Amino acid sequence: MTDACVTFMLDCLKTLYVSHIDVLEDVKEKVEQLFRDLTISKCLINDYTKKSSMSSIESEFVKQVRDLVYRSEDVIDKYVHEASMDTMIPFSKERRLKILKSEIESIKREAKQLYEILYNFESMPVGEGRGGSKHIEKALILEEGEDSMVGFEDEKMKVITLLKEGSNELEVVSVVGMPGLGKTTLAKMVFCDSDFSKAFEFRAWVHVSESYTRREILLTILENFMEVTQEMYNMTDTNLGKKLYQCLMNGKYFIVMDNVWSVEVWDNLVSIFPRNVKHSRILLITRVSNVAKHANPKREPQRLRLLNSEESWILLRMKALGSLCPKHLERHGKSIANKCKGLPLALAIIGGILSEKGTQGYWWQKVDNFVDTYLFLDPQRGMDKVIRQSYSCLPYSLKACFLYFGMFPKGFEISTDELFYLWIAEGFIEQKEGMNLEDIAEEYLEDLINRNLIIVEKRRSNGTVKTCKIHDMLQEFCKKLAEDENFFLEIKCNDEDTFEAFSSTMTDVRRLCISSEIFNFMCLKLLGSHVRSVLFLSPTKMVMEPGHFASVIRAFDLLRVLRVRPISFRSFPGDMDKMIHLKYLVLCGSFKIIPSAISNLWKMQTLIIETSEPILHIKADIRQMSELRHLITNVPTSLPDEVTKPEECYCLTSLQTFAIVTSESCTIELIDSIPNIKKFSICGRLALLVLGKGGFDCLQKLRYLTNLKLMNEVLAPPLCLPEHLQFPPMLNKLTLSNTQLDWEQMSILGRSENLEMLKLKEYAFKGDLWKMKQECFSVLKVLHIVKTDLVQWEASAHHFPQLTCLYLKQCTSLEEVPEGFADIASLDIMELYHTHVKAEDCARKIESQKQKTTHGSGFKLVISSLEQVQSSIASSTTTPA
């Protein structure tokens, strides 16, 4: 992690300097020289951090560079913060400037010394302090470990079936899964299956280490077939490859390629194997989904699942006791099994530990209380080693993003939007030309998912990830590594005596995640001059007077990230505007007004406000927050008049999300000031957008807008769209709520050439007949209709040629779903909730027709009728006699 940390912090340091060049003018040359010195040192340590393991000396060098970068950032941040305070009199400024110069000089001297040590160390001959010969990981010895696993017999037969199927040419079957899931064990079971393996003349097992060479792989495979002579050892790689190729041409072969880490590794090795040897097979074992898809694009990889609770208990019992479990151990045993969350390696490790403890109840109870600790006790054999292999292979840009998952509570389902906003505020996302930071963050997440390190919990209708989480074992690894490197510290203890121990530790870390009782944390002597991020993640919510939060603001005045969602404030906390380094802020409470002073937070990127009031008034001129990317509220938000008036110099060019603005504040001038907006939500009397100073006609100016929500307030009159209305050209998602439009106006929506998702909620359209005419939603993929008085819907496949998902809810009057939808080849899911029984019958007819054309696969129908819901409620409330 440290290499990523150094790179990120140098980038942040450079940005910090550029942002405050006016304040730092007096020390410009010193700061620039400091930056150059640290950059040189960072370049020297790059080679160390790319290794799968570093010596203790190398690790210490890397740590010292990281600490110097942190110190540099602290010094500059502190000076800028103090310079921004009105109370900074000339004498004080002169004194602070003198201190700043002195501290920069001190850091420069240390950086120079460190550079010289690093340079001399790099120049040392091998053997003089730099360690011995290059470590080469040997091929896996099949006899080591278990050759079978609970719950794997079915998986083994599936893999063997896949290997037997297919063409006569060479084919690749892949097994994919997260670390510790038992992929290698499953491969061993297949490899050692005598009935299957006897069909092959040649068999070989190859473990591809992180530091593999092509020559090493060639020799490993040849050793399985013949005695490797000195003459072979003397051959070039090219001749060795030809030798192996000729050998494999002489008979049907089966090769297990275990631990293949990347597409490049596979491409470097695949040419070794002849393709036209009858019915030869390769079993590819990888943690990376893209490797499996690349090796055989025509076949889906076999994905291993986690064990269920019963299988977990059987495996643990087998490893720990080898037989039946004494009654007095069952309760703790099953509890331990459940805490391993279905991961076979975790169960095997804990089972091995318990086997050494015998049947003493005391030890089983102790292990039950500290499962995570025991799993990571032995760094050479435990979970740490297995997960660290995946971690070491991550590019530096992903390492911090991965460790960040450790900050959230176990099992926490993380919104990807929130995750992306946090990563950006932390500085983890590297800018790429032609892409915005949010899109790059999405690529990072997809990469972690592809490596089977992160679990997708929910996807949106368009296929993008909506929420995700991390397995408990991987999260524990993140926590341990992060705490070792002062990346973050979790505060979770509720015992006051132990809690005090965190006070001293807090001074060394950059991030805090508070999952403990908030009141206990607030009672601490808070010292956080180095802390840059504080996430309150306690499941317990509490109401707090703003004044009680003052200690946090004072202690962590250099914060960049502050998330206090569990706390509900009675009013907006005072002095929040003093935290000028804030980039990410989440606040909840009973706010009516956001004060004007909030505009002092000019570095703010993401501002999320949740209030229990029906409307929120922002008094601040948000145009002064020039870096603002996302302004999100849970209720309609009004802006001061000066924001809705034209003023070129205050254009919010960075703003990507604005949700939710009142219709009164959505003026032409406001729209002109947010030219790069992507997500925009408007709520109120939407008729104002058509009349007077409304901005409906200007929406088409928002050429980057992709997601638009229009919500009419409950008692507002029906909306009537202008006939000439043109929606923004990039719009692909539109949500209408309570707009009460006439179905005839659907033709206006049909003009949107890129519209892929349309959500019609709460009588978005009114009327009993929707008769589609010339309009054609040519690229629409998702259609939601929730709560409508529609009775008849006349449409055909022609009107929705690319529809994939149709969702109908509370359409209690709708008597039919157009039968022509059976002809939409792309339609694969239809969901009906609380709809008319006639509509349900139509949906079943469509299902029947689709099954005939798709041979029973590729289409899913979900129906939840009102009668079913009522019956379910009745049965749940009925008390037994």
Burial of residue 511, with CB atoms counted within 10 A of its CB: 0-12 exposed, 13-18 middle, 19 or more buried: buried
Which of the two residues, 541 and 147, has the higher pLDDT score?
Answer: 541
pLDDT of residue 130: 40
Q: What phi and psi values does residue 218 have, to the nearest 5 degrees? A: -60, -45
State which amino acid sits at residue 224: N
Top-level class of domain 394-484: mainly alpha
Range of weakest confidence among 24-38, 108-122, 615-629, 709-723: 24-38
CATH of 737-881, one of 3.80.10, 1.10.10, 3.30.870, 2.60.40: 3.80.10
Q: What pLDDT shows up at residue 509?
A: 83
Please check the confidence at residue 117 and state whether its pLDDT lies above 80: no
Measured distance CA(591)–CA(572) in Å, rounded = 6
CA distances from 670 to 4, 370, 688, 702 (A): 40, 56, 14, 11
- The CA angle 280-286-287, to the nearest 5 degrees, is 160
Q: Is 110 helix (H, G, I), strand (E, B) or coil?
A: helix
Identify residue 477 by its one-letter amino acid code.
F
* The CATH number of domain 153-303 is 3.30.56.10: no
The tokens 């009105």 sit on which residue? Answer: 86
556: its two tokens:
């962590």
The tens digit of pLDDT for each residue in 715-763 reads 889 999 988 888 999 999 999 999 999 999 999 999 999 999 999 999 9
Q: Is residue 12's pLDDT more than 80?
A: no
Mean pLDDT of 631-642: 93
pLDDT tier for residue 67 given thresholds of 50, 70 and 90: confident
Q: What span, in angstroms and rounded, lies between the C-alpha atoms of 582 and 576?
A: 9
Under 8 Å between Cβ of 308 and 342? yes
Does the pLDDT at position 549 exceed 70? yes
**Is it the case that residue 122 has pLDDT exceeding 90?**
no
Residue 779 has pLDDT above 70, yes or no: yes
Give the number of other CB atoms < 10 A from CB of residue 735.
17
CA atoms within 13 A on the CB side of 704: 15
Encode pLDDT of 398-431 as tens digits: 999 999 999 999 999 999 999 999 999 999 998 8
**pLDDT, tens digit (0-9, with 9 covering 90-100), for 253-307:** 999 999 999 999 999 999 899 988 888 999 999 999 999 999 999 999 999 999 9
| Lowest mean per-residue pLDDT among 53-62, 486-495, 831-840, 861-870 | 53-62
The pLDDT assigned to 396 comes to: 82
Which residues touch 506 (CB under 8 Å, ≥6 apart)? 489, 491, 512, 524, 526, 527, 528, 531
- The residues that bridge with 533 in the sheet, in sequence order, are 511, 561
**52-56, 122-126, 519-523 — most confident range:** 519-523
Backbone angles phi, psi at 529, to 5 degrees: -65, -20
Q: Could you write out the DSSP letters of every residue in 758-806?
A: EEEESSSEESSEEE--S---TT--EEEEES----EEE--GGG-TT--EE
Question: What long-range pairs does 32-38 form, CB within 8 A, spacing at least 24?
Answer: 33/108, 34/72, 34/104, 34/107, 34/108, 34/111, 35/10, 37/108, 37/111, 37/112, 37/115, 38/10, 38/13, 38/65, 38/68, 38/69, 38/72, 38/111
Q: Which of 110-114, 415-419, 571-575, 769-773 has the lowest mean pLDDT?
A: 110-114
Q: What is the pLDDT of residue 126?
A: 42
Tokens of 256: 């297990």
pLDDT at 140 over 50: no
Furthest-apart CA pair in the chain: how many Å? Answer: 91
Residue 144's pLDDT is: 39
Burial annotation 536-546 (CB, 10 A radius, 16+ → b, else e): bbbeeeeebeb
Q: How confident is the model at residue 257, as a pLDDT?
A: 95
- Contact call for residues 769 and 791 (beta carbons, < 8 A): yes
pLDDT of residue 136: 30
The pLDDT tens digits for 319-344 are 999 878 999 999 999 999 999 999 99
CA distance 616 to 571: 12
Under DSSP, the state recorded for 623 is G
- pLDDT score recorded for residue 143: 36
The pLDDT value given to residue 438: 96
pLDDT at 145 > cutoff 50: no
pLDDT of 138 over the 50 cut = no
Q: pLDDT band for position 765 (50/70/90)?
A: very high
Contact 803, 821 (CB under 8 A): yes
For the chain, the average pLDDT equals 84
Average pLDDT value for residue range 866-876: 56
CA 565, distance to chain mean position in Å, is 20
Comparing C-alpha atoms, which of 496, 503, 491, 438 is closest to residue 465? 438
**Residue 793 pLDDT level (bands cut at 50, 70, 90):** very high
Block residue for tokens 């699942």:
305
309-383 CATH pick, 3.40.50, 1.10.8, 3.40.1000, 2.60.40: 1.10.8
C-alpha 199/C-alpha 182 separation (Å) is 25
What does the pLDDT look like over 836-852, one tens digit per residue? 999 999 999 999 999 88
pLDDT confidence of residue 26: 58
